Amino acid sequence: MLYEREISSFRESNPTRRQGVLANLHLDLPLLTGLLLLCLVGLIVLYSAGGEEIELVKRQLLRILLGFILLVAVAQLTPDLLRRWSPWLYLTALGLLIAVLLFGESGKGAQRWLAVAGIRFQPSELAKLAVPMMIAWFLASSRLPPRWDRLLIASILVIIPALLIARQPDLGTALLVISAGIFVLFLAGLSWRFLLALVVAAIPLGWALWEWGMREYQRNRVLTFLNPERDPLGSGYHIIQSKIAIGSGGLYGKGWLNGTQSQLEFLPERTTDFIFAVIAEEFGLNGILLLLALYLFVIFRGLYIAAHAQHLYGRLLAGSLTLVFFVYLFVNTGMVSGILPVVGVPLPLISYGGTSMVTIMIGFGILMSIHTHRKLLPT
């Protein structure tokens, strides 16, 4: 009976039934539509947040195009190929992260960039993809749920790159990499007891991190998060102005191009990390609900793809990437609305800026590859 149901469900989503260019390009129409809509919303908001500067919008449009090209390219690769590449990709990422610490370029008090042949990029972005791929590859090679020893190895595989990234220091990305790894473990059936143990272990770890692992500005961020009014002109200024922007937007918002907090530049980082506050100010709670619905649609489509993936590797990877996308969303909106500390995580697909945009697009390319390369019957 179960078998019957599986077969029928495969049939329903049989990609060969779908005709046309999209199917040939290995693209998933609902997911693609959701992503394009989010990018479009991003460009519209960016025009307002950036002080009606069309140049800014053009540059972002170029990044989106680059992202989509990579998305389409990755979608052409078969999941099997991706699976076989996973360990090599992981090792490459690890090597590059070490290289960053040794020869990386500095910016804003952190060493994140690596320049190869004139092209600057952040190896930590590669790690965001390579880590879940590696863990998925590792866990998919044996039975589920994984045994304790395998869990331990998987944990170490997550922690090494995470620590390297935290050293740069880039706390936001380190957290995203860790969560990507944990999501794979979680989806692989990691027992709740183990998760609980992790949380308990995190407390002394957190303390150690506070004492030795954090720079002064990072500690300040946490302290300011706990009490934004502590430093109203310094780091608390972001949160206070952001809350004013959101709150003053009300139910209907002040209207596009009419947000005073953003247009008059009271809101810092309004085109990047705090763009969510601009949307809240100009489009109100109504706009926020619509935006969240759009995100939810993309996330649910991603989980749907994960649920219908034929192989364990694909399932774990698709699920993890989708959940990381949600983590992006939640950490950013939570930080902008003042329920999470300020860690530099952009609003996915909307915030101005290149690196994370490209990574996310490639992630969705992987999802499409998983979804569109299924065979009619499992072998």
Partner 1 sequence: MSSLNSFRDHLRERRLFIGRLWQAVLLILLLLTGLVARMAYLQIEQHPYFAQMSTENRVRVQPLPPTRGLIYDRNGELLAQNIPVHSLVIIPERVKDMAWTLEQLAQLVTISEEDLTRFERLRQQRRRFENVLLRSALSESEVAIIAVNRHRFPGVDIEAKLLRSYPHGVETAHVVGYVGRISEQDLAEIDGSAYSGTSYIGKTGVERFYERELHGAVGLQRVEVNAFGRVVRVLEEQPSIPGRDLHLSLDLRLQREAMAAFGEENGALVAIDPRDGSILAMVSKPGFDPNPFVEGISRAAFHALQQSPYNPLFNRALRGRYPPGSTTKPFVGLLGLESETITPRQRIFCPGFYRLPNHQHRYRDWKRSGHGWMDLLDAVAQSCDVYFYALAHELGVERMHDYLSKFGFGSPLGVDISGELSGLLPSPQWKRANRNAPWYPGETLIMGIGQGYFLTTPLELASATAALVQDGTHYRPHVVAAIGDHLTGEVTALEPVLLSQVPIGNRLHWQHTIDTMIEVVEGQRGTARRIRNPHYRIGGKTGTSQVFTVGQDEEYDAESIPKRLRDHALFIAFAPAEEPTIALAVIVENGGHGGAVAAPIARQVLDRYLLEE
Residues that bind partner 1 (CB under 8 A): 2-3, 6, 143-145, 183, 186-189, 241, 243-251, 260-261, 264-266, 280, 284-285, 288-289, 292, 296, 299-300, 303, 306-307, 312, 315-316, 319, 323, 326, 330, 333-334, 337-339, 378
Which residue lies nearer to partner 1 by CB, 119 or 264?
264
Which residue lies nearer to partner 1 by CB, 126 or 136?
136
In the complex, the smallest distance separating the C-beta of residue 81 from partner 1, rounded to whole angstroms, is 22
CA atoms within 13 A on the CB side of 103: 7
Which residue lies nearer to partner 1 by CB, 84 or 143?
143
Shortest CA distance to 26 belongs to which of 96, 75, 83? 75
User: Residue type at 28?
Assistant: D
In the complex, the smallest distance separating the C-beta of residue 346 from partner 1, rounded to whole angstroms, is 16
In the complex, the smallest distance separating the C-beta of residue 262 from partner 1, rounded to whole angstroms, is 10
Which residue lies nearer to partner 1 by CB, 167 or 243?
243
Which residue lies nearer to partner 1 by CB, 270 or 373?
270
In the complex, the smallest distance separating the C-beta of residue 341 from partner 1, rounded to whole angstroms, is 15
Which residue lies nearer to partner 1 by CB, 39 or 190?
190
Which residue lies nearer to partner 1 by CB, 95 or 232?
232
> Which residue do the tokens 């003053």 mark?
248
The token duo for 126 is 């590669």
In the complex, the smallest distance separating the C-beta of residue 140 from partner 1, rounded to whole angstroms, is 10
In the complex, the smallest distance separating the C-beta of residue 276 from partner 1, rounded to whole angstroms, is 10
In the complex, the smallest distance separating the C-beta of residue 236 from partner 1, rounded to whole angstroms, is 14
Omega before residue 341 within 30° of 0, cis: no
Which residue lies nearer to partner 1 by CB, 74 or 185?
185
The token duo for 110 is 């952190």
In the complex, the smallest distance separating the C-beta of residue 2 from partner 1, rounded to whole angstroms, is 6
In the complex, the smallest distance separating the C-beta of residue 23 from partner 1, rounded to whole angstroms, is 25
User: Residue type at 76?
Assistant: Q
Which residue lies nearer to partner 1 by CB, 24 or 142?
142
Which H, E and C letters describe the chain, residue by residue? CHHHHHHHHHHHCCHHHCCCHHHHCCCCHHHHHHHHHHHHHHHHHHHHHCCCCHHHHHHHHHHHHHHHHHHHHHHHCCHHHHHHHHHHHHHHHHHHHHHHHHHCEEECCEEEEEEECCEEECHHHHHHHHHHHHHHHHHHCCCCCCCHHHHHHHHHHHHHHHHHHHCCCCHHHHHHHHHHHHHHHHHCCCCHHHHHHHHHHHHHHHHHHHHHHCCHHHHHHHHHHHCHHHCCCCCHHHHHHHHHHHHHHCCCCCCCCCCHHHHCCCCCCCCCCCHHHHHHHHHHHHHHHHHHHHHHHHHHHHHHHHHCCCCHHHHHHHHHHHHHHHHHHHHHHHHHCCCCCCCCCCCCCCCCCCHHHHHHHHHHHHHHHHHHCCCCCCC
Q: In what order do the strands lie in the sheet with 110-116?
A: 105-107, 110-116, 119-121
Which residue lies nearer to partner 1 by CB, 21 or 251?
251
In the complex, the smallest distance separating the C-beta of residue 62 from partner 1, rounded to whole angstroms, is 28
